[in-house]
Amino acid sequence: MPKYLYHGSYTLDGVRGVLTDGGSRRRDAARQAVESLGGTMDAFYFAFGADDVVVLVDVPDNVSAAALSLAIGATGAFRGTTTVLLTPEEFDAVVRVNLRGAYFASVEAAQRMFAAGRGGSIINVTSVAGIVPLERQGVYAATKAGLHQLTKVMALEWADRGVRVNAIAPGWVETDLVDELFASRHGERLRADIPMGRLATPDDVAGAAVWLASDAASYVTGSIVVIDGGRQLR
């Protein structure tokens, strides 16, 4: 279990958070980080219902009734192919999850915070691909860049209601999604592109989320926090 030895401002006492699924390791790291500082964290998912409206599913009753104060959006879809080979169906599938889904999940979380009248923190997990162009990640990168801009617009619109909105943009993270890629013949080259010489751990990402969720970041909104070991500096 990670240990966050921060000063007193890094407390999440009384924080009630929800996390859209971001893979088991990243989800577990976020839950452990929040709970180690006195908060509680539940995982939920979004699905597309009638008329393609985003519907939250698997939300525990006690979360629905509680005053939600933290939401971390970490669900994503990926298609690794060149722009000329990407099909319209694949394009739409990635945009549907990464942009449309993230947009309406954030709106749903914000509406719950508005109703509770106590503000809160929304954190969108995006990607450094939304900042630095990477081959074979065209539509994925476009959705993450779009989510960066949506994060800023939401931060601007919701600031006077006490809801802060920020994004975390990781580089390569040790998750189920990339393990196979880095075990392949491409792994050595990809690792060499990272100045710090390693992938991020889920705890690296969770640590940034803890800071953004805490009172230590109470004056931070509309920011994109990059966690990439210096990858974007190449």
Count of helices and strands (H, E) across the chain: 8, 7
Cβ density class 182-216: b for 16+ within 10 Å, e for less: eeeeebeebeebbeeeebbbbbbbbbbbbbbbbeb
Tally Cβ neighbours within 10 Å of residue 5: 5
Tally Cβ neighbours within 10 Å of residue 159: 14
Query: Do β-strands 120-125 and 163-170 pair in parallel, antiparallel, or remain unpaired?
Result: parallel
Radius of gyration of the chain (CA): 17
Active site residue 140: yes
Report the DSSP beta bridge partners of residue 227. Answer: 170
Q: Which of 4, 10, 45, 140 is catalytic?
A: 140
Output the CA–CA distances (angstroms, integers) from residue 193 to 35, 180, 199, 201, in the order listed. 34, 18, 10, 17
Catalytic residues: 140
